[in-house]
Amino acid sequence: MGDLVLVTGASGFVGSAVARKLAERGDRVRVLVRKSSPRTNLADFPCEIAEGDMRDAASMARAAEGARYVFHVAADYRLWARDPEEIVRNNLEGTRATMRAALAAGAERVVYTSSVATLKPVAGTSVDETSRHDETSAVGAYKRSKVVAERLVEHMIAKDGLPAVIVHPSTPIGPRDVKPTPTGRIIVEAASGRMPAFVATGLNLVHVDDVADGHLLALERGRIGETYVLGGEDVSLKDMLGVIARETGRRAPRLELPRAPLYPLAHLAEGIASLTGKEPFLTVDALKMARHHMFFTSAKAERELGYRARPYAEGLTDAIAWFRRAGYIR
């Protein structure tokens, strides 16, 4: 019987990939899931389900009891909410409760899943872990929430002896994106022929299973208090859409749109969303983020952890195949 490992967010995209990798290597995996969370991603590997909420100290204490290792992967990953501060509260208080529970349980090592959202893009280069946002420079509630949560973890490492390693996944793609994530929505829309145009931006794409491998490497080889980017390849949105078009036998979009005229549409979409409660495809914060090419380097993780990532196109192929099987793409 392997070590008992707690994984939060295991019903989601990255969390389920991490939990599956742990189960494959023989660990006893306990997953924290909310009562309302879908269990689709938990069906094909052995795990113990602990129902609870990352923001609730009591349920976190129960979930962490006896765990040798804790992976805090859960996050409120939305680029829009009726109350944007709800995203900040959820990610900050969820992280606080999880880290306190890990300390109280005597966990030997914690891997905290931050995000490249906490890193500041710089034009013309792929930035590393040293290019840091603060609360004022981070665009939107989600990025701000990850900044304040990461600073909390760093404070607890320094002041409370929290034995944590911090990882920064870039933009994961691949199978089992059940929600789907904002990037997964782009893949579905493009593969369905519903993205006739694009804006000039760029992002770093990485297969979700490589991100999961990076989490395990951080557990085994990461230095407490250090941060590691877990990325793949820097890609323009135009090139990403071109690969999706080839995979699906569609014509790649050729119309490049300026961002400025899209802002009124984004405000309109958010206004409609405030009435329906459904997250809009186009948001003001997403347009603001698109001003930057969000390019990152994983050199530190490659050097210190032995991290490697496959070509991003393989992630797109796997994502499209899974979305088709799951009925997202018809």
Average pLDDT, the chain: 93
- 143-171: b (≥16 Cβ within 10 Å) or e: bbbbbbbbbbbbebbeeeebbbbbbbbbb
Residue in this structure with the two tokens 């490589």, named with its chain if needed:
210
pLDDT digits (tens, 9 = 90+) for 89-115: 999 999 999 999 999 999 999 999 999
Phi, psi of 198 (to 5 degrees): -150, 165
**pLDDT score recorded for residue 1:** 63
**pLDDT score recorded for residue 313:** 97
Tokens linked to 237: 């949105």
**pLDDT score recorded for residue 276:** 84
Tell me which of 53-67, 143-157, 287-301 is least confident: 287-301
**Is the entire prediction scored with pTM above 0.75?**
yes
pLDDT digits (tens, 9 = 90+) for 250-271: 999 998 888 787 788 878 887 8
